[in-house]
């Protein structure tokens, strides 16, 4: 099984014949099991040369880069072996046709809302007084079918997420982590820092899964396609944020695995220190590897595999083989 490799130290990635290793500033070497590596996440100041990049391309390994504060800045996306001209045309067709694009945008939001309700219901069944939040979300969700354009759909979804995030303070037992309101770029408190960090990682995981399909990550449907960024991974992430990232956050904080000492304030924002990033990544990786019984195919699959299966469903929709319906968590 392919693994994700995380590098937090400063140093250099080097190639030696058919092997790749990381050399830190002290000169210590650590070999990277390239045949079993899906992607590298580089948090430290890491240099690498053309020879190493050529080897990563040959082995179809994606590199994800993060800045000093742990936030995603970009990816090295190797030559696309699976890309299909036919699929790109189908993606473009569904993006340019307002009705076809609206159908997919609606399904992504509908899946996101359904999974938000699943997460809240999980904690409601464990004694957290959040029934009123679920009812408010259901009230707002009924407005989605009335919306005729994507901007209106996203506005309703934004209102739903505001209600959802306001319930976090009831789910999280620690007084050191309060939501207040959702803030980004920069996050203004510790809980927002965790959400932003987790979402950034999820975007990269989905990008890596897209690479293994015929889909082009530059053409999304809910999020506008532009010249600057990938957008399809953002679409798919809407479905998985509640059941992967948010559930990991609740688990970590309610188990007191991360505390105020794992954060720092800088440039007007709050950021996770390396100590906090390592704990979060460890638990997020555990979640991605957790298997569940997926009734659609009748067998156990990991959460990471569920992301790939979601992409396959989207491919079938674009080719006209099967209408796309988002994953709604049963776990």
Burial annotation 291-314 (CB, 10 A radius, 16+ → b, else e): eeebeeeeeeebbbbbbbebbebb
The confidence score (pLDDT) of residue 308 equals 95
* CATH assignment of 85-318, among 1.10.10.10, 1.20.1260.10, 1.20.120.920, 3.90.420.10: 1.20.120.920
Q: Is the pLDDT of residue 307 over 70?
A: yes
Tell me the percentage of the chain whose pLDDT exceeds 90: 70
Cα separation, 167 vs 259, in Å, equals 20
Contacts 24+ apart (CB under 8 A), 216-223: 216/80, 216/83, 216/87, 216/88, 216/91, 217/77, 219/88, 219/91, 219/92, 219/95, 220/95, 221/94, 221/95, 221/101, 221/104, 221/105, 221/108, 222/104, 222/105, 222/108, 222/109, 222/150, 222/153, 222/154
The least confident of 56-60, 87-91, 285-289 is 56-60
Contacts 24+ apart (CB under 8 A), 72-75: 72/200, 72/201, 72/203, 72/204, 75/204, 75/207
The confidence score (pLDDT) of residue 81 equals 65
Q: Which residue has the higher pLDDT, 182 or 66?
A: 66
User: What are the distances in angstroms from CA 296 to CA 156, 301, 309, 326, 327?
Assistant: 30, 11, 10, 12, 10
Burial annotation 21-42 (CB, 10 A radius, 16+ → b, else e): bbebeeeeeeebebeebbbbbb
The confidence score (pLDDT) of residue 236 equals 97
Position 6 confidence tier, pLDDT thresholds 50, 70, 90: very high
Mean pLDDT over the full length of the chain: 91
Cα separation, 293 vs 299, in Å, equals 6
Q: For tokens 């020879």, name the residue.
A: 51
- For residues 211 and 232, is the Cβ–Cβ distance under 8 A? no
Cα separation, 52 vs 212, in Å, equals 21
Q: Is the pLDDT of residue 310 over 70?
A: yes
> What are the pLDDT digits (tens) for 188-203?
789 999 999 999 999 9
* CATH assignment of 3-76, among 3.100.10.20, 1.10.10.10, 3.30.830.10, 3.40.50.2020: 3.100.10.20
The confidence score (pLDDT) of residue 325 equals 95
Domain boundaries, the chain: 3-76, 85-318
């Amino acid at each position: 099984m392919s693994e994700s490799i995380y590098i937090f130290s400063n140093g250099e990635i080097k190639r030696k014949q058919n092997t790749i290793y990381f050399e830190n500033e002290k000169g210590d070497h650590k070999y990277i099991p390239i045949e079993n590596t899906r992607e590298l996440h580089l948090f430290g100041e890491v240099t690498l040369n053309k020879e190493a990049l050529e080897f990563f391309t040959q082995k179809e390994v994606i590199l994800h880069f993060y800045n000093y504060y742990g936030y995603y800045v970009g990816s090295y996306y190797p030559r696309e072996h699976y890309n299909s001209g036919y699929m790109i045309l189908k993606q473009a067709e569904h993006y340019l046709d307002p009705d076809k694009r609206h159908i997919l945008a609606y399904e992504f939001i509908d899946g996101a809302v359904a999974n938000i309700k699943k997460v809240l219901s999980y904690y409601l069944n464990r004694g957290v007084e959040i029934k009123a939040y679920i009812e408010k979300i259901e009230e707002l969700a009924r407005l989605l079918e009335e919306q005729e354009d994507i901007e209106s759909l996203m506005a309703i979804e934004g209102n739903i997420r505001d209600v959802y995030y306001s319930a976090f303070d009831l789910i999280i037992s620690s007084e050191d982590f309060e939501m207040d309101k959702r803030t980004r770029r920069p996050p203004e408190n510790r809980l927002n820092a965790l959400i932003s960090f987790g979402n950034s990682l999820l975007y990269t995981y989905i990008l890596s899964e897209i690479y293994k399909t015929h889909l082009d990550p530059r053409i999304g449907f809910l999020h506008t396609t532009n010249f600057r960024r990938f957008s399809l991974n953002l679409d798919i992430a809407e479905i998985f944020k509640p059941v992967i990232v948010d559930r990991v956050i609740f688990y970590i904080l309610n188990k007191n695995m991360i505390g105020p000492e794992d954060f720092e304030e800088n440039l007007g924002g709050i950021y996770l220190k390396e100590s906090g990033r390592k704990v979060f990544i460890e638990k997020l990786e555990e979640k991605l590897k957790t298997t569940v019984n997926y009734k659609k195919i009748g067998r156990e699959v990991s959460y990471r595999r569920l992301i790939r299966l979601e992409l396959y469903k989207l491919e079938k929709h674009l080719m006209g083989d099967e209408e796309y319906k988002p994953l709604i968590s049963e776990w």
